[in-house]
Structure 1
């Protein structure tokens, strides 16, 4: 039996610093997603937009959002991925949650905080990578600015899918397109990027360009509009191309220090 996974990429505008409004909006979008989807991907900081003022968000909203993700995963019988502004003790993180439909929750803290926007002054960076096994696929989960740093994403984990959630602005979207394709080719993995659309509370414009690339860098889906995109990933596509081309056999071997 072929091993496949169907994913839904939710490309959406976001309500600025309003978790309740965003959860209500995504309630409707998720309810309309095909029932045979295995994985639903939301943008970076999907409850607030890319805010540098997490103090504007009540602390109770973080746990409400994680619980909301858990409920949605159960309702759709699908894993849900997205990042939120998360406060823990005296630190704030841009934290991605992977929530499986049967209570399993894992997390990843953004490694490369975006200095151009001052994210490094507000959010503490993470120092651990996350590779999640789900439905027969190994997924490496990353956030936005991480895309510019190929060493952090290098396929030394034998993963199958590289996934980025993002708030990547329109003026630099050409880099987003090029880097997503490059990450797929160099790692011989599917590469998924889920971006937002619309304007944020600071006036920054986002043009989407959410996409999925296969292991050879071919574009499977792509959009610049507010919509849900669907793609089916095939394990056979990964295995057959890696066995035929064997580029990963020649990769550099290294370890990273925090």
Structure 2
């Protein structure tokens, strides 16, 4: 199984421009087989808090466009605003050619930028099966919460995919914590960041997407700038490392792992 991360610029509020940029990049890999595409967090509109409801109206339109591009051997991990019963969620959609096979609503919202004032919190985890690989989802800030990774691992994840908008100024935190989450849960952790977040006030450099295997080796060349990054994953590596060093199973024998 291959994972491709699209580390490209995101422009605040520019749905049309962002759509053209990312869909064009995906189309260039449309014939790839047994592949997971990853896109940055809120790549369509950025964190345009005041217009989330309006952008949410385009979410399924964007998902349909993605489905029109990809083939039946592709899973796309894409993040958009979602409205439900007068609430707005920061939601990851797991999209195949024919269906949305899973959704994850962000549990921990980034309060320093006011994300918690505009989005509602999710309250569950999500793990989907794609061609025999169990894929879980978390978002950006949530790398600071190891409990979320342990819950996702206990639900059977071989891989945790993390769409993000993470500033280059804190790249050491990003790289250290994602690697730690991979090692302590003995699974793949893949983080797809945008290259730059363009806003009306400033341009924030991001980049440094990561792909750690269950041993903690980085499978991407983690760099700044615009890139399409590719790596191979093998779920047998998860099983092998968990058998050689049974720290995850030892923990599960001692600690009660439960959802709230």
TM-score by length of 1: 0.91
Query: 1:188 aligned to 168, 186, 189, which one?
Result: 186
Instruction: Show the counterpart of 1:143.
Output: 139
The answer on whether the counterparts of 2:23 and 2:66 sit within 8 Å (CA) in structure 1 is no
- Correspondence 1:49-128 to 2 at 5 A: 49-55=46-52, 57-74=54-71, 77-128=73-124
**How far has the Cα of 1:240 moved from its partner?**
1.6
In 2, Cα distance between the equivalents of 1:93 and 1:213?
28
In 2, Cα distance between the equivalents of 1:140 and 1:58?
25
Instruction: Show the counterpart of 2:229.
Output: 229
In 1, Cα distance between the equivalents of 2:52 and 2:185?
38
In 1, Cα distance between the equivalents of 2:140 and 2:171?
12
Query: 2:159 aligned to 158, 161, 166, which one?
Result: 161
In 1, Cα distance between the equivalents of 2:248 and 2:257?
16
Q: Secondary structure at the match of 2:44?
A: coil
What residue ranges of structure 2 are gaps of 5+ in the alignment? none
The answer on whether the counterparts of 2:127 and 2:156 sit within 8 Å (CA) in structure 1 is no
Instruction: Show the counterpart of 2:251.
Output: 251
Q: 1:35 to 1:257 in 2, by over 3 A?
A: closer
1:43-96: CA deviation from partner (whole Å, max 9, x where unpaired) = 00010113322347355312211222322334x741111111222332111111
What residue ranges of structure 1 are gaps of 5+ in the alignment? none
The answer on whether the counterparts of 2:208 and 2:224 sit within 8 Å (CA) in structure 1 is yes
In 1, Cα distance between the equivalents of 2:120 and 2:23?
30
Q: Secondary structure at the match of 1:97?
A: strand
The answer on whether the counterparts of 1:54 and 1:85 sit within 8 Å (CA) in structure 2 is no
The answer on whether the counterparts of 1:16 and 1:49 sit within 8 Å (CA) in structure 2 is yes
Q: 1:210 to 1:55 in 2, by over 3 A?
A: closer
**How far has the Cα of 1:37 moved from its partner?**
4.9
**How far has the Cα of 1:236 moved from its partner?**
2.2
Count of aligned positions: 253
**How far has the Cα of 1:145 moved from its partner?**
1.0
Query: 2:130 aligned to 120, 134, 141, which one?
Result: 134
The alignment yields a C-alpha RMSD, in angstroms, of 1.8
The answer on whether the counterparts of 1:93 and 1:124 sit within 8 Å (CA) in structure 2 is yes
